Amino acid sequence: MKERTPLVTHIFTADPSAHVFNGKIYVYPSHDIPHDGEDNDDGDEYRMEDYHILSLDNLDADCVDNGEALHMKNIPWVSKQMWAPDCAYKNGKYYLYFPARDKDGIFRIGVAVSDKPEGPFEPEESYIEGSYSIDPAVLVDEDGRSYIYYGGLWGGQLEMWQTGKFDENTPRPVGKDKALGPMFAELNEDMKSFKTEPKHLEILDENGNPLLAEDEDRRYFEGPWMHKYNGLYYLSYSTGTTHYLVYATSENPDGPFTYRGRIMEPVIGWTTHHSIVEYQGKWYLFYHDCELSNGINHRRCVKYTELKYNEDGTIQTIKPYEM
């Protein structure tokens, strides 16, 4: 594959979660369905119904679409909008985590299981108890403990849970209000339930103060990802409205995290959603943009590019259309 070109063009793919399993790269994207409806801030244009898992034998190989791995029609609790997924390996099984709206229109997080990284995946009967919002990302740490990070503002409904219950009329944090961080919980050994009560992660500025809602260049919006580099936890995410990919670091998986900088400047399209993975001694950023569709937000394509660190552990900012 060539850097910064679509992995596949026969379908529209987005929100790539990349992992190395059995020496191969597997990418778990959402699958955009083309339509002529309008875009809006609640994301109604994203009508995804299934998942196709992509794989590469190596970065010089062609990308393979392994076919439909899971469809909403086979998940009892789902009504629509199967958005950005992730996958984790543990206990000899592969666990696919995905958000979708339940029968009441509330986003929940489900899990499906397979013996193979490419699926097909068998979904659990119901969503993870206590879960809500979107964009699950799972880290299986070196000590075997597993953590899930999730949550997205606006259409992702994260701010609607501030009272502890779903309320679509809950005011969004604005101005000097403390920004909402992503959710965090430890998973049980079965990888299908929360071991700890979910909590918001704290993201702090260079002075140790919480980021504010008005700080749209740095505050959390959606798309969390967690990876480790030299023993440090790197929380990366999208700022949404300002279209940056940024990151914060901590010595602990549940923070607090300190904002460190930008990973990528804006791409073509409203926002981006990414993952970071090490492969054969180098690090790579997988992301999406709307270049293939000339800017149509719900017709995206997955790409990758090399990600480089400075000696102090900071990440070099990527300009997506400059090589």
What strand order describes the sheet that includes 86-90? 86-90, 93-101, 107-114, 122-123
**Which residue has 């009329």 as its token pair?**
169
SS3 104: coil
The yes-or-no answer on residue 189 being catalytic is no
Q: Identify whether the C-beta of residue 300 lies closer than 8 Å to the C-beta of residue 293.
A: yes
What is the rounded distance in angstroms from the CA atom of residue 99 to the CA atom of residue 109? 4
Would you state the structure tokens that stand for residue 43, as one six-digit string?
A: 């994301």
Give CA–CA dist 264/160, Å, rounded: 29
Residue 281 tokens, joined = 């001694």
The tens place of each residue's pLDDT in the chain, 323 residues long, gives 799 999 999 999 999 999 999 999 999 999 988 766 666 556 666 669 999 999 999 999 999 999 999 999 999 999 999 999 999 999 999 999 999 999 999 999 999 999 999 999 999 999 999 999 999 999 999 999 999 999 999 999 999 999 999 999 999 999 999 999 999 999 999 999 999 999 999 999 999 999 999 999 999 999 999 999 999 999 999 999 999 999 999 999 999 999 999 999 999 987 789 999 999 999 999 999 999 888 777 789 999 999 999 999 999 999 999 97
Half-sphere exposure of 22 (CA within 13 A, CB side): 12
Which of 15, 45, 86, 159 is the catalytic position?
Answer: 15
Please state, in angstroms and rounded to a whole number, the distance separating the CA atoms of residues 17 and 87: 7
Domains of the chain, first to last: 12-307 (2.115.10.20)
What is the DSSP pairing of strand 122-123 with strand 107-114? antiparallel
Q: Is 186 a catalytic residue?
A: no
Among the listed residues 180, 192, 81, the one whose alpha carbon sits nearest the alpha carbon of residue 146 = 192
301 contacts 32 by C-beta, under 8 angstroms? no
Q: How far apart are CA 83 and CA 100, in angstroms?
A: 6
The number of helices, as runs of H, and strands, as runs of E, in the chain is 0, 20
Catalytic residue among 32, 86, 202, 222: 222
